[in-house]
Structure 1
């Protein structure tokens, strides 16, 4: 069963150059092959994004510009992680509830996913998420 301890920051290699830095996500930078890439931007002040859990999909989030907080819940604990550097990403494993908040002005959040969009992989109601985690716990114990 996944917990907030399985979520981790991953440093993306940075090539420094006087003309500007370059970071690349390739090879084994992240532990999955990216099947979908999307980004969030122009998020109005005070707005939240996310508010769901993936049953199987993993995601890697990067603050390309600005900053935002990622609120993580594993059914037992809550953790808030701030993304604010374009060469540091956050790996969110399956089975973790996530919400994005506190977007700075001009923030851009890039998301790389381990799977293409599949609505059946989403849990969008927190009560359903808690039931999902309880079922997983009982399955692992049996």
Structure 2
């Protein structure tokens, strides 16, 4: 099941520095970011192999998640909060603020055959 982790952040009079080091539970092979989203819903899939870590580095968005048993909505609105999505986590991203930038770290390179678009049956 998806879960949030807090990224180590150093703050002083110069600003904030958030570090992603030794906390992501997989080797990162791909990084992408989503921005300029209107009222659209992004995602709508899970994976055979890929695990992901999502971080709202600017603005906010909501992520609906279902692992086939549990459903949960996560609010990402802090650049030090990271949502870990497992392969079984069918997810949708929505409610993006106008300034939102959602960065995603992925455990696998892009492969269209890794995607499962059908949501779990209820």
TM-score, normalised on structure 2? 0.93
SS of the residue corresponding to residue 100 of structure 1 reads strand
Distance, in Å, in 2 between the alignment partners of 1:75 and 1:31 is 21
Name whichever structure is richer in helix by fraction: 1
Deviation at 1:7, TM superposition (A): 1.2
State whether structure 2 residue 10 is matched by structure 1 residue 12.
no
SS of the residue corresponding to residue 15 of structure 2 reads coil
Partner of 2:77: 84
Runs of 5+ in structure 1 lacking a partner?
1-5, 131-142
Deviation at 1:75, TM superposition (A): 2.1
CA deviation vs aligned residue, 1:68-88 (integer Å, no higher than 9, x gap): 000001223321110000001
CA RMSD of superposed structures (Å)? 1.1
Q: Equivalences for 1:1-142 in 2 at 5 Å?
A: 6-26=1-21, 28-44=22-38, 46-126=39-119, 130=121
Deviation at 1:51, TM superposition (A): 0.6
TM-score, normalised on structure 1? 0.81
CA deviation vs aligned residue, 1:4-53 (integer Å, no higher than 9, x gap): xx211011110112111011112x21111111000000001x21100111
Distance, in Å, in 1 between the alignment partners of 2:68 and 2:106 is 22
Structure 1 residue ranges (4+ consecutive) displaced by more than 4 angstroms after TM superposition: none
Name whichever structure is richer in strand by fraction: 2
